[in-house]
Chain A
Amino acid sequence: MRSKNTTPLIAALSVAAAATLILTGCNEASAAKPAGFTPQQMADGLFVVMSSDRAVYTKQVVNRLQNEEKVIKASEHWQDEKGLPLPAQMFRMGAETVAGKNPGFTYSLLSLWPINKQNAPKTEAEIAGLKFISDNKGTTNYYTEEVLGGQKYYTAVYADVAVSAACVKCHNNHDDSPKTDFALNDVMGGVVIRLPLK
């Protein structure tokens, strides 16, 4: 139960801390004079934190404990099977925890080939963004603006790449996966970050 509570919290705090640093600046000079980050710089900074945390969790927690030391398995049904949350689940739990704290920005992990259909792209920006990063093999990010619910957002889409054989194997074998021929380093989906604009 402890891991259930702390994992998303750590992720949420990391993202929130990064957002705070980016927004406020982290040295005296920037505190005296706001750095004036652009929405793109802000989104890029958030993504660096998110992707780094996720990579650390994937390599230092899941891969080490499951594949190297064979201490515990990662499982989609990690609570019932007393295992570790999958990296994608950890990422989503972090996103939901962040949303619960209402820091002003939101992020989500979506895919053109989602296992859970609720994670398919919905808005025009999501559809265009996920197609763009997939067509470009994840080499270029996608940035745009969109209006949702009467609010204007800066929306950035970053490629989510299959970084390990475990990602590929799990998605290709999952009963609900609409795509079963993923290969290592393929773009499997995208991280969508939204910042509200005035």
Chain B
Amino acid sequence: MAPKQKWLWCAWIALTLSLAVIATTYSFGPGRQWLLPGKTTHGHYQIELSCDACHTPWLGVAEKACQNCHAAELKAADDSHPKSKFTDPRNADRLRLVKADDCVVCHREHLPEQTRSMGITMPMDYCYHCHQQTLTDRPSHKDFGFETCATAGCHNYHDNTALYENFLLRHANEPDVTRAPQTPALNLLATLIEEGAFTPRPALTSEDPDGPASATLNAEGLSEWLGTAHAQAGVNCTDCHEQPDGPNLPKRWVDKPDHAACAVCHATEQSGFLSGKHGMRLSKNLPAMTPQQARQPMKPKAAHVELTCVSCHGAHGFNTGSAAVDACLSCHNDAHSLAYKSSGHFTLWLAEASGDAPPGSGVSCATCHMPREQTESRGQQLVHVQHNQNANLRPNEKMIRSVCLNCHGLGFSLDALADTALIGTNFIGRPSLHIESIDLALRRQMTLKKTKPETSK
């Protein structure tokens, strides 16, 4: 082989290997961002580098990808338009127009120029295809555009649990404030004991910590920890810090246990955390979310905080009051968050914190965005904090039943949630918008009463 040919072969091999290394690095490492075909929606950008969370190896979308993360909330919302409605052959003509049996027909990813509120990539008048008869059945709707059905605060495609007509009528004419806040008390410890998952232990004292000498807390840390529900319940250092490296492996001391350690007792909370924007990266084995990566305004000094359980709850203090307000405001820097401390809700929170008002009467960030929910857990009614802060946020009418109606009337809630300026001021003032839903329902009820023949009753 001629020297020149040898040189060319070597160069070709070196170039090929270099390209292979670069391609591999950028395709499977953190640099794979270049593979994204377009900007990802606000709901998925945190996990956009975990391509296989949604995609098949050949860039299709896995059939169950959407259901894997969203099935539970659709079920909780009693989805108004489940897939099964459209797979009935009688709707074949409608499916030809809108292929509504497939999530990604309405919610296509990586199409920022086409993506509207709620990640919808369809023209907003999609209701037209199936609900044209509404214009004749409901004369009050004859002047409404189909593009406004789901954008005017009246209807949602999936979740109408707080918007359906009978619900509107039952909550018509309610005052703005119906009752004082009363957040239910958490009952995890009692539930775990009742389930037999935790044996009651005596409260721990400063003599009891069982960690190694190398991991001794300072006096301040020890004092903080002794005041926690953990120490009161007899949960010692090794209960959290001794973790196995894997299934069936012996436990060893871990200086910084991760969310899996918390999940031993707080499984429900962990599940919510990993489903929400704070923890979803961890659920896909990506590095923890940091405020720097957020698309909402965040405080610069918090840019590099890695979001785990302890970033909000502290490593040893576990102060739920602090986690419910201070932790949020240490990162969030948007108008709504910044206005919170000027709001009536915060006044209630201060009154509770100072002891001037009873426990559960304050309204923190978490009261609305991480509400306490009651669910059945192995036969017990568990009151827990929903740690998926997005579960009731978009569309915000999802918040009506789980949060707003605990204190406010439905009419006020609908108006307030539709008023983006009022949301910006953290509800300081009154709604400047009015959603007509309840008025329309009341008017229709009156009309039907007048026209209904008495004999039919």
Contact = CB atoms under 8 A, between A and B. Distances in A.
B88 A151 contact: no
Interface stretch (A28-36, A39-47, A98-106): A98-106
Given A117-B133, A175-B445, A180 B452 contact: yes
Contacts of B92: 148-151
A100 B376 CA distance: 25
Contacts of A143: none
Contact of A148 (B78, B90, B130, B453): B90
Interface string B80-106: 001111011110110110000000000
Given A77-B166, A96-B85, A100-B82, A123 B457 contact: no
Contacts of A117: 133, 137
A122 B456 contact: no
A149 B444 CA distance: 37
B448 interface: yes
Contacts of B83: 100
Contacts of A149: 89, 92-93, 95-96
Interface string B55-91: 0000000000000000000000010001111011110
Interface magnitude class on chain A: 20 to 34
Contacts of A118: 130
A172 interface: yes
By secondary structure, the B interface counts as helix
A71 interface: no
B128 interface: no
Nearest to A196: B89
Nearest to A171: B456
Interface residues of B, number: 27
A97 B85 CA distance: 10
A187 B405 CA distance: 42
A79 B78 contact: yes
A69 interface: no
Interface in A73-122: 76-77, 79-80, 96-97, 99-100, 102, 106, 108, 117-118, 122
Nearest to A122: B90
Contacts of A106: 87-90
A107 B166 CA distance: 27
A1 B87 CA distance: 26
B167 interface: yes
Nearest to B85: A96
Nearest to A105: B89
A77 B89 CA distance: 28
A57 interface: no
Given A1-B376, A99-B84, A180 B89 contact: no
Contacts of B170: 80
A180 B453 contact: yes
Contact of A123 (B87, B90, B453): B90
Interface in B395-447: 444-445
Nearest to A1: B376
Contacts of A122: 90, 93
Contacts of B130: 118
A151 B137 contact: no
Interface of B: 78, 82-85, 87-90, 92-93, 95-96, 130, 133, 137, 166-167, 170, 376, 444-445, 448, 452-453, 456-457
Closest 9 CB pairs of A and B: A149-B92, A99-B84, A180-B456, A148-B89, A148-B92, A96-B84, A100-B84, A172-B456, A175-B448
Given A106-B90, A148-B92, A148-B93, 12 more contacts: A79-B78, A96-B82, A99-B85, A100-B84, A106-B89, A108-B88, A126-B90, A149-B93, A149-B95, A151-B89, A180-B453, A192-B90
20 contacts: A1-B376, A77-B166, A79-B78, A80-B166, A80-B170, A96-B85, A102-B87, A106-B87, A108-B90, A148-B92, A148-B93, A149-B92, A149-B93, A149-B96, A151-B89, A173-B456, A173-B457, A175-B445, A180-B456, A181-B456
